[in-house]
Structure 1
Amino acid sequence: MSLLRRWFDPIRSRWFFQKPTRQEVLPTEQGLSIYLRLDDVYSYLAVQQLPQLEEILTDDLKPLKVVISDTAAEPPNGMTKTEWHTYCLNDAKILATQHRFSYDEEKPEQPTQEALKQAETILKNTPLTGQNFLYLLEDVFHMLWQQQYGKLRTLFVMASQHQKPQETPERVFDHTPVLASYFEFGGRKYHAVDDLLRLTRRLKQQKLLTDNPIFLINHIEWREHLMSDAEELAEIQAMHPELDLYIALEDPISWLLLAYIKEELADYYNIQMNLYPLSYRSRDHFDWSLATRLSKRAEVEFTPFCRPTADSILEMAHLFYSVPDDEQVDAMYEILKAVWTKGKDFSFKSHFQQMQQLLSIEQLTDVNVAELLARNDALCDQKHQPDFPVLELRINGKHYVFNSLYRVWMIESIFSNVLEQLYKSENDAENNEFEISKE
């Protein structure tokens, strides 16, 4: 990191974070829009909430504008289209189970091209508007994603023979590249499922809702544990769960999640954490206001944004691999805390030596750190995840892979599901024994 950045970034960050973390009022002139793709499974989940959302919008935001695109954006993180589709189908199943969406859990699959064309014709030709159109939109998505192709063809024949394409400003068909469904409000984008609560909090703050929004009923808030029963907690702790974290060291979200999991979840559930730092991934462009809001919700300190450079990453990893294995989590916590709360630059000799002393490192390791990071990269790539950090949880003989700040809630949800399955198996065994004894 240059001398200019080392001095300027902390000053700039203090100025940045002294500003309000939430802009008081976002403009409403453009209304509220949702971007969908008929072949996007996240769009399928999103449309199941739209009639309810439209119902509680104030007149300032009605009608909800629906933009249906026929163009997919490139998959993230170097994934192939096949890898991305597979990931989305599996992730949607997790979201559907957690938040009670309709979804084909037995055999989810992408709709056929013929079905997609029929669905587009139905939606282009329908004279329905407002909430009635949203109900039709939901029904059409059900037909596509539940393989109800007979019903879809019947509607298609009616729409193509008896109706003509309609022109309405609240319904747009275009070629905007859409990776996954999202809302747009006041010039900002919100993931259609993952950011729905954040969006509705914003709308409620601006008095743009006529009633309380009740969405994603099993959402787990930061610092609020899903499990509090002492007996259940003890059972999870006795299973000795393990959690692997693959973290990009220049990514502030990696710091926020590592700190949150270490401070709030690891000891509580007796989770053994294993860290795998990754080589420099050029993750230098972030939504800093989102990171700030996350730090406040997760109650994790986060102030300067002195983004580590590629040289800094190597030095941070050098420190990490110079402490004993059982001290590495604590060491990385201190290293990242120094970066993201104090603006330390470990390519700067003085900062490096200070941390070496703090971690009581008498002798730096002579292993090839770059090779270790490359090995971690390869392991991480095998997980086929679209974002960082990548997490792998192992418990009760099974393993679960997920990623990013949007899926941290899965840790506790998985624990709850593991216990539910355990109790169900025990009850089934007891019932079988009872039936045998009766015979």
Structure 2
Amino acid sequence: MSLLRRWFDPIRSSWFYQKPTRQEVLSTEHGLSVYLRLDDVYSYLAVQQLPQLEEILRDDLKPLKVIISNTSAEPPNAMTIEEWRTYTLNDAKILATQHRFSYDNEKPEQPTQEALQQAEVILKNTPLTGQNFLYLLEDVFHMLWQQQYGKLRTLFIMASKHQKPQNFPERVFNHTPVLESYFEFGGRKYHAVDDLLRLTRRLKQQKLLIDNPIFLINHIEWREHLMSDAEELTEIQAMHPELDLYIALEDPISWLLLAYIKEELANYYNIQLNLFPLSYHGRDFFDWSLATRLSKRTEVKFTPFCRPTKDSILNMAQLYYSVPEEQRIDAMYEILQAVWTRGQDLSFQPHFQKLQHDLNIEKLIDFDVEALLENNDRQCAEKHQPDFPVLELRIEGKRYVFNSLYRVWMIESIFSNVLEQKYKAENELERAQQEAEEQDLDGSNDEKREM
């Protein structure tokens, strides 16, 4: 690692962390825009919130600008188009269940090309504006994603015969590559579902809303446990859940999430953690403001840091695999803590040796560390996830795979659903037993009467 990075990173990161991360006022000059694709399932979830959002916007941001693209961006993390589609359909099902969106839970599928073309004509030709257009937009998305193609064709015929293409500045159809739906405000992008609460907090802070935003009511905040009932908690702990974490060591999000899960969730729910460090993925070029914001929301210390390079990753992995297996979670916690809160450069021998001493490692392993990391890479790739860290939760014989800071809430949500299903099954069994006992009693009474 260069001397510049080793000495400048800790100074720069401390300065950046201490300065206000929230710009006091974002410009309203370009209003609020939402980017959609008719064949994007996240857009389908997003449009279900737009009429309500438009209703509480101040006039400064009205009308909400809707940009509809017919072009998809490249899938992330080297996923194929089919892998990405499969992932998004499953992920949307999870979001819909958690946040109570309308969704086809039985057999979600992409709309046909013919249906997409018909929907675009309907939306281009309609003279409706403002909230009325947003309601139509929502209805059209329902027809596309619920396979209501008869209704869609009827609207298409009417729009084709009796209307002509409209030209409204707040309604744009273009070819801008859009991977998944997002909002744009003040030059910043917000994921249409995952960042909706962050966006509305920003709008409320700038007094751009006329009423309280009530969105995603089942959202689980950091450090606020979904389950606090002692009996329910004991039941989950008795199920001995396991959580595998595939982490890129040069990614600060890995440190922030590992620290949060270890400090806040692992002991609370009796989760057995298993760590699989990955080879270098270039994640040291990250969004500093996002990591800083996450640090403050999760209450996990961050900075001064010294971003690890590829050489640092190998040294970090060597330390990790040199400790006994039962001590590795604590060891990785200390390794990442040294890098991300004490500015240690583990490609620098004095820093490496000090940490080796702190971890009580007398002898380093002589295995091929790169081969170990590449094996972890292969296992991680088999999960077909678009982002890191990748998480796999196992409980009650089932496995759940998800990824990134945006899905950590799923750990507690899954626990809640597992208990709900368990109680439901127990109630059904109890009801069946009670009915059987009543039938036996009736049969016994009949026999007595015959005697």
Q: Give the structure-2-normalised TM-score.
A: 0.97
SS in 1 for 2:268: helix
Aligned to 1:70: 70
Q: CA deviation at 1:305?
A: 4.1
CA shift digits 1:213-260 (9 cap, x unpaired): 000010000000000000000000000000000000010001100000
The answer to whether 1:324 aligns with 2:324 is yes
Q: CA deviation at 1:10?
A: 1.1
RMSD over equivalenced CA pairs, Å: 0.6
The answer to whether 1:155 aligns with 2:160 is no
8 Å contact kept, 2:305–2:342: no
The answer to whether 1:251 aligns with 2:251 is yes
Matched residues in 2 for 1:201 and 1:112: separation? 37
SS in 2 for 1:15: helix
CA shift digits 1:262-294 (9 cap, x unpaired): 000000000000000000001132221111111
SS in 2 for 1:183: strand
Matched residues in 1 for 2:126 and 2:295: separation? 46
Aligned to 2:128: 128
Identical residues among aligned pairs (%): 82
The answer to whether 1:229 aligns with 2:214 is no
Aligned to 2:211: 211
Matched residues in 2 for 1:58 and 1:200: separation? 12
Q: CA deviation at 1:403?
A: 0.2
Aligned to 2:390: 390
Q: CA deviation at 1:407?
A: 0.2
Aligned to 2:419: 419
Q: CA deviation at 1:332?
A: 0.4
Name the amino acid aligned to 2:274.
N
CA shift digits 1:138-161 (9 cap, x unpaired): 000000000000000000000000
Name the amino acid aligned to 1:52.
Q
In structure 1, stretches of 5+ residues that fail to align are none
Name the amino acid aligned to 1:240.
H
Matched residues in 1 for 2:293 and 2:401: separation? 26
The answer to whether 1:434 aligns with 2:434 is yes
Aligned to 2:10: 10
Matched residues in 2 for 1:306 and 1:125: separation? 55
Alignment of 1:81-120 (within 5 A): 81-120=81-120
Runs of 4+ in 1 over 4 A off after TM superposition: none
**Stretch deviating more after TM superposition (260-269 or 283-292):** 283-292
Q: CA deviation at 1:366?
A: 1.0
CA shift digits 1:412-434 (9 cap, x unpaired): 00000000000000000000001
Matched residues in 2 for 1:204 and 1:285: separation? 31
Aligned to 1:279: 279
Q: CA deviation at 1:19?
A: 1.4
Aligned to 1:168: 168
Name the amino acid aligned to 1:190.
Y
Aligned to 2:445: none
CA shift digits 1:385-422 (9 cap, x unpaired): 00000000000010000000000000000000000000
Q: CA deviation at 1:333?
A: 0.4
Q: CA deviation at 1:315?
A: 0.1
Name the amino acid aligned to 2:298.
A
The answer to whether 1:181 aligns with 2:181 is yes
Name the amino acid aligned to 2:338.
A
Aligned to 2:448: none
Q: CA deviation at 1:306?
A: 2.0
Name the amino acid aligned to 1:217.
I
SS in 1 for 2:333: helix
Q: CA deviation at 1:171?
A: 0.2
Name the amino acid aligned to 1:88.
T
Larger radius of gyration: 2
Matched residues in 1 for 2:233 and 2:16: separation? 41
**Stretch deviating more after TM superposition (403-412 or 7-16):** 7-16
Q: CA deviation at 1:304?
A: 2.8
SS in 1 for 2:308: coil
SS in 2 for 1:189: strand
SS in 1 for 2:234: helix
Matched residues in 1 for 2:48 and 2:364: separation? 56
Aligned to 2:30: 30
The answer to whether 1:357 aligns with 2:357 is yes
Count of aligned residue pairs for this structure pair: 439
Name the amino acid aligned to 1:404.
S
